[in-house]
Amino acid sequence: MTDAEKKAKNAKKSAISVFFEEVSRSSLIVPILAILSGLLLGGILVGLSSESVYSVWSQSPFLAISNGFKAAWESYVTLVTGALGSPSRIIAAIQGGDGLEIRRAFNPIFESLVRSIPYIFGGLAVSLGFRSGLFNIGVEGQIFMGGIFSVWVGYSFTGLPALIHIPFAFVAGALGGALWGFIPGLLKAKTGGHEVINTIMMNYVAFRLTDWLLREPMRREGSTNPLSPIIEESAMLPQFFDEPIRFHFGFFIALAVAALVYWFLFKTKWGFDLRTVGANPHAARYAGMNIVRSTIVAMSLSGALAGMAGANELLGVNHHLSQSFSPGYGFDSIALALLGRNHPLGVVLAALLFGTLRNGATRMQAAAGIPIDIISVMQAIILAFIAAPAIVRTIFRLKEPRKAEAEIHVRGWGGS
Amino acid sequence: MAPILELEGITKRFPGVLANDNIRFSLEEGEIHGLLGENGAGKTTLMNILYGLYHPDEGKIRIRGQSVRIASSGDAIRAGIGMVHQHFMLIPVFTVTENVMLGDEPTGFAGILDRESTAKRIREISSTYGLEVDPGAHVSTLPVGVQQRVEIIKLLYREANILIFDEPTSVLTPQEADQLFRIMRSLAESGKSIIFITHKLREVLDVCDRITVIRQGRAIGTTTPQKADNRKLASMMVGREVVLEVKKSKAKPSALTLRVENLKVLSDRNTLAVNGLSFDLRGGEILGIAGVQGNGQTELVEALTGLRHPVEGRIELLGADVTRGTPRQITELGTAHIPEDRQRDGLVLSYPVADNLVLNTYYIQPFTERVVLQPDAILRYSEGLIDAFDIRTPSSLVDVGNLSGGNQQKVIVARELSRPIKLLIAAQPTRGLDVGSIEYIHSRLVEKRDQGVAVLLVSTELDEIMQLSDRIAVMYRGQIVDVVAIEEASKERIGLLMAGVLSEGQKA
C-alpha cells in the first residue's frame, strides 16, 4: 500500500475511530485500564464481602444484589471523600470561617499527598533499578536503614541550625539506604549472586537490626516500648499548616528528586551507561561500559532513593523510629514502579494514586468498616493486569502496541 | 496428476507490511523445489503459513488437488508436512531415539515408554535413506551434520511426504553440505517432495529440480537450473543487476598492526576453545579466518576485543600489550568490531538509531559536554551517517529494532567504520543479509583495506572468505591449521582444512 492509499483509507475512518486507535496503541492505556479494572473488581469484592448481601439473600436475591451494589458504591464514596475531602464539608467550613474546621475539611487531600511522598521515593528507587536491569526488592529494608540513619542524626546532634541539621539527617538516611543497596550490588557484580535473593535477605537483616536497636541502643529513655527518642526540632522537615494538616516540605524534595532522577537517567552519560546495561548488557559490554561498576552504582543509587523515603517519613511525619513506621511502602513501590512504567513522571503519578488510595482506604475502614486490605487486593489486581498486559488487551480488545514499545520493564524479572 | 502441493494466491499482511502478495507455488511429487529469496523476502512467512504457524489472509492450500485448511502445526504434520528448522529443535541431553519419539511417544504396559520399537524404526529409516545415525547416542555428543540428520529422521518417522528445509546449510561445512544434498536427492528419488529454502545461489543450482524466486513478498518467477545461472538468479532476487565479484587490487601490506602469540582462551564451558593460536596481521590486508562454526572463532574474536580474557598468550595491538585490555581501551586504540551476533552484542534494539550510532562514542565530545549528553550533536552526527551509509530508516529516532536486518547491520557498519580506525574485526559481517547489503558491506571492507586498515574477517561462508581475503587462516578446534595465500587457495583445499584434514607434509 502506498502512503497516498493509506492516507485515503485513514480519511475514510471517522476522527473518533482514528483517535481511539491511537489511544489504544499508546502506552498509557494499559495502566489506565488496569486501574479501572482493579477498581471494578475491588468493588465486586466489597459487594461480595458485605453482610447486607447475605442477610437478605433468602428473602430476595434481587434485594441482596442491589445491597451489594449499594455497599460497593458507598465504600467508594467514602474512599473518595476520605482521600480528597467532601465538597459539602469544605463549603460549609469556608462559610463558617473557623480556621481549624477549614483545615480539617481540607486535610484529606493534604494527607493523601503526605502518603504519596514515600511512594515517590520508593517508586523512583525501584524504577532506577529496573532501568539498570536490576530488580531491587530490598526497598523496604533500605527504607528502614534510611530511617535508622536519619533518626540517629536527628536526635543525637543538638544545637545545629535547621538549615544544616535537616540536610545532614536527610543525606544520612540516603547513605543508610545506599549502603543497603551497595551490598547486594557488590555481590551481584563480583560474584553473580542474584540481587532478588540478596535484597530479600537484606530486608530481614534491616528489620531485625531495627528491632535490636530499638530494644537497646536506640531506645527512648524511660520508655518501655521499642521507640527511639524524638528527633530534635531542628531536624524536622518544616510543615506549612497548623494541626491537623501534616503536609510537609518532603513533598517538594520528592518532586525535585524525581526531576533529578529523570535528568540523570535520560540526560547524562552516566544514565546512558545504566540504561544501556539495563536494556542490553551484552551490547553495553561490547560498547566498553563497565558492567561491574554500573551494577554497583545502580544498586547504591536505588538504595539511596529508598533511604530517602525512610528519612522523609521520620523527619517529616513520625519524628521517631518505630518497628512499624513503614506499612510496606517498599513492596508497594514495586507495583507502583511498574504502573508508572519506570519513568519518573509515571512514578510520581502512580505514587499520587497509591497515596490517595491508601489514605482513602484508612478513612474507608474507619467510616464504612471495610477492611483496609481491600486496597491491597485492588493493588494486587492492578499489578496483575500491568504485569500481563495481554489480559487487558484481550478484555478490552485492544490492538498490539507498536513494536517499538518493547517491554523494557519486564526484563530483570528473574531474567539474566 | 495434480501436484502434491499447491499454494494459490497466498497473501499475508502484517501491520504495515505485505509479507506475502498473491503467491503461487507448486510442488511435484519427488521434486526438489528451491525457494530462493533474500532475507525478509517472505520465504519464511510462506513456509510458516504452510506449517500452520500463521494463517493466510487470502489464498488456498491444496494437497494432491484437495483443498486443506492448516490451522496448526499439528494439522501440518497430519497432512504430511514436515520442517527442518534452521535452529534445531532437539533436546541435547536426550538420546536420538528419545528426541525422535518426543511428542508422539509409543508406550507399552502402564505407560512405560517403548524405546525399542522407535529405535527399530530409526534403524529402518537410516538404512532406507542413507541417514546414518546411532539411535542410542546422546544428541549433545553428535556433530552438527548428524544432528540435522536426526531432524530429518524425526520427519520421516512421522511419515512426512513434504519436507521443508529452512536454510539447512548455514551450520554445515562444505563437505557436510554436499552430504546433505546427497541425502536430499535420495529422499526425492524415493518419492519424497522437498522444498529447499535458501539464499545461496550455488546451492539451488546444484541440487534443485526447479527454482522459484521470491522478492518483496511476490513470486517473481520459476525456472530450472538448466535455464538459469548465478547472475540471472541474483538479479531476479534483488531486482537489478548485481556485482557478484568484489573488485579489488592486490593488497599492499604495511606495518604490523596485530600480533597474536600462543593464545589460549576458555569457552563458557571452561574448555579450551582457542588452543595455542598465533598469527600476524598487517595494515592494508584482509586476513580471513575460515572455519566451521564453533571451532573457537567466537572466543578468538572476544579475546581480541577484550570481551573475554585469555588464559595464556599475548595480544599486541600497534605495539601495545592488550592481552588483558578492556573493550574500551581496545576501542580507543583504534579497533572497530562488527560483532557476530549483531542483535545481542552490537545494538540496543530498544534504543533509537541515533543512540546506537554513538553506542561506543557517546561519552566523548561533542556527544557529551561535561557529563551531559548533547542530543543535538548526536542527532546531527547520526543524520550524517544515515545519509553516508544509506541506512533505510524513517528517521534517526526510530528504534533500531524496527529496521530490517540489513539496515541494522548498516547501523553497526556505519558506527564502526566512521571512526578513525587501524584495525577492523568483522565477525560474520554478512550473515543473514540480502544480496544488496552483502555487496555493500563487502565493498566497504575492501575500501577500508585500501585505506590501510588491517582487516580480520571471520566468516563461516567460504565464498565470502575466498572473495575478500588476501590470506586465509583456517581454524579447526581452536587452532589455525594452516595459513594460505589467496593465490594458492582453492575451495577444495580450504574445505578440507576446515574439516581438519591437513595437507600433505603437514601431518604431525
Round to whole Å and give the CA distance between B412 and B407: 9
CA distance A238 to B249: 78
Of the residues B17, B340, B348, B372, the best mutation for testing chain A's interface (the one with the most A CB atoms within 10 Å of its CB) is: B348
What nine digits make up the cell of A84?
A: 480528597
- Name residues whose C-beta falls within 8 Å of residue B439's C-beta, 6 or more positions apart in sequence: B242, B243
Per residue in B19-46, pLDDT tens? 888 999 999 999 999 998 877 678 888 8
The pLDDT assigned to B239 comes to 79
Q: Do A400 and B15 touch (CB under 8 A)?
A: yes
Closest by CA to B290, choosing from B282, B280, B300, is B300
Q: Give residue B96's identity as a one-letter amino acid code.
A: V
Is residue A306's pLDDT more than 60? yes
How does residue B507 score in pLDDT terms, banded at 50, 70 and 90? very low
> Rounded mean pLDDT of B66-83?
89
d(CA B131, CA B121): 12
- Distance between CA atoms of residues B267 and A40, nearest Å: 54
Enumerate residues 6+ apart whose C-beta is below 8 A from A380.
A335
pLDDT-derived band at B53 (thresholds 50, 70, 90) equals confident
pLDDT tens, A250-304? Answer: 999 999 999 999 999 999 999 999 999 999 999 999 999 999 999 999 999 999 9
Chain B residues in contact with A272 (beta carbon < 8 A): 355, 362-363, 373
| pLDDT band at residue A377 using 50, 70 and 90 as cut-offs | confident
Integer angstrom CA distances of residue A317 from A273, A306, B178, B475: 36, 16, 78, 69
Give the percent of chain A with pLDDT over 70.
87
Q: What is the mean pLDDT of residues B473-481?
A: 92
* Chain A residues interacting with chain B (CB cutoff of 8 angstroms): 1, 267-270, 272, 276, 279-280, 282-290, 400, 403-404, 406, 408
Residue B430, classed as helix, strand or coil, is coil
Q: Residue B335 corresponds to which cell in the numbers above? A: 579497533
Instruction: List the alpha helices (DSSP H) in B190-222.
Output: 201-207
User: What is the CB neighbour count within 10 angstroms for residue B62?
Assistant: 16
Is-contact B187 B194, C-beta < 8 A?
A: yes
Tell whether pTM > 0.90: no
Which residues neighbour B226 within 8 Å (Cβ) at sequence distance 6 or greater? none
- Write the DSSP symbol of residue A226: S
Contact call for B346 and A270, based on CB within 8 A: no
Instruction: Answer for the pair A126, A302: CB distance below 8 angstroms, yes or no.
Output: yes
pLDDT of residue A407: 37
| Per-residue pLDDT reduced to its tens digit, B427-440 | 999 877 777 788 88
Q: Is B204 exposed, middle or buried (0-12, 13-18, 19+ CB in 10 A)?
A: buried
Q: In a 3-state reduction of DSSP, which class is residue B329?
A: helix
CA dihedral B30, B31, B32, B37 (to 10 degrees): -140
Structure confidence by residue, pLDDT tens digits, A9-50 = 444 455 566 555 555 555 677 788 888 888 888 888 888 888
Write the single-letter amino acid at A188.
K
pLDDT digits (tens, 9 = 90+) for B190-246: 899 999 998 888 888 989 999 999 988 888 889 998 988 888 888 888 777 766 677
**Partners of residue A400 in chain B, C-beta under 8 Å:** 15
Residue with cell 574474536: B301
Q: What is the C-alpha separation between B401 and B378, in angstroms, rounded?
A: 19
Give the bridge partners for B219, in sequence order: B214
Interface membership of B226 toward A (CB under 8 Å): no
State pLDDT tens for residues A384-416. 777 676 667 777 766 655 443 333 333 333 333
